[in-house]
Amino acid sequence: MIPVTKPYLPSRENLEKYIDGIYERQWLTNNGQLVQELTQRLEDYLGVENLLLVANGTLALQVAYRALGVSDANPAKRPEAITTPFTFIATASALKWDGVQPVFADIDPNTWCLNPANIEAAITPNTRAIVPVHVFGNACDVEAIDAVAQQHNLKVIYDASHAFGVNYQGESLLKHGDAATLSFHATKLFHTGEGGAIVFKRKQDLLRAQKMISFGIAGPETIEEVGINAKMSELQAAMGLCVLDEMEDNLKARAQVWRRYEHGLNPSLLQQAKRETLVYNYAYFPVVFQAQEQTVRVAARLKENGIMARRYFYPSLESVECLNAPANQPVSSDIASRILCLPIFDQLAESDQNKIIDLIEVETEQ
């Protein structure tokens, strides 16, 4: 079976060296040595400041929402946040879980990111924030979104789960917004098995979040606010350090896979339009077929041949009843119905990839 993705497993010998250190120190969590080292190395690698490691990407969203005051709800007026329906469920469900109503605005038909032109109409007196997603690592129109946010005094939290290492206009894409969140799940380009991070624009927001992820504790006998346990462990950090050690090899291998798809697939298939000056991370390879029926047929044919592709993101989130945000989003609904993410990981053999391309070619010619 060829999976849609496969976790990158770094040198076991290197990992065991980090684990030996954990055993020697007997310090497993609570901002240990490896968490501190990984924090500094990631800030250096990504070119950012105010990075906070957490236990997973969903907690990264929830802590960012709370640290920036989005989910400090007035019981009489439920806060709202404008976000995209074309994303993984966690972007919206993390809002809903914390008492914030997600309000969807439709996406751009080319970049598949939140369309700034649709944000204004969705703003109400209860709107606290805009939560765009750098979909598949493609940059949102950050300039236009930030302009709307400033005009209406709204926070901007970018879900940058797919955007590890992505640069835009010569700088890290993670520098935009009041905060940007990352997922370090096992299937991501960079991972810690499970994990995540938040990059804050302001130091004071980082300091507040540091307390929040450790139960609101500010000192041995001081609790300053309601918090949660969202800390990253030393074992997670050990995996992250090993993956980071080998990041350039991983990126190079994924880039080769990505380019083989780009050159081998039928040019009639719709691909995501990348923003100009974007330095991409080759995290995903999505394609959009002419009709939903064709997408379903291609996915079924691939599965019959032991190949797993994923309808990512399907369904469009305005159709998810528990989110209670049913307003029609035609562009997102259309793209979601026709999209398929193809297998991409560093170990994908060229022969297997050629098989995938050939099977798609047969189905699209019918």
Nearest C-alpha neighbor of 183 from the set 56, 285, 288, 304: 56
For the chain, where are the E strands, in sequence order? Answer: 51-54, 80-83, 101-104, 127-131, 155-159, 167-168, 171-172, 179-183, 196-200, 217-219, 222-223, 278-279, 286-288, 339-341
Cα torsion 49, 53, 58, 64: sign: negative
Coil/strand/helix, residue 332: helix
Tokens standing for residue 190: 């960079």
Given the residues 175, 188, 201, 211, the one annotated as active site: 188
The crossing angle, in degrees rounded to 10, of helices 234-245 and 33-46 is 40
Contact 359, 302 (CB under 8 A): yes
**Helix/strand/coil for 15:** helix
Helix (H, G, I), strand (E, B) or coil at 41: helix
Q: Are 342 and 244 in contact (CB under 8 A)?
A: no
The Cα 226–Cα 67 span in angstroms is 11
DSSP symbols for 109-127: TTT-SB-GGGTGGG--TTE
* SS3 at position 197: strand
Closest CA to 157 of 128, 182, 124, 132: 132
188 a catalytic residue:
yes
Residue 157, helix vs strand vs coil:
strand
The DSSP bridge pattern shows strands 80-83 and 127-131 to be parallel
Pick the closest to residue 285 from 308, 257, 313 (CA basis): 257
Backbone angles phi, psi at 323, to 5 degrees: -85, -20
Q: Are strands 286-288 and 339-341 parallel, antiparallel or unpaired?
A: antiparallel
- What is the crossing angle of helices 57-67 and 89-97, to 10°? 50
- Mind telling me the catalytic residues? 188
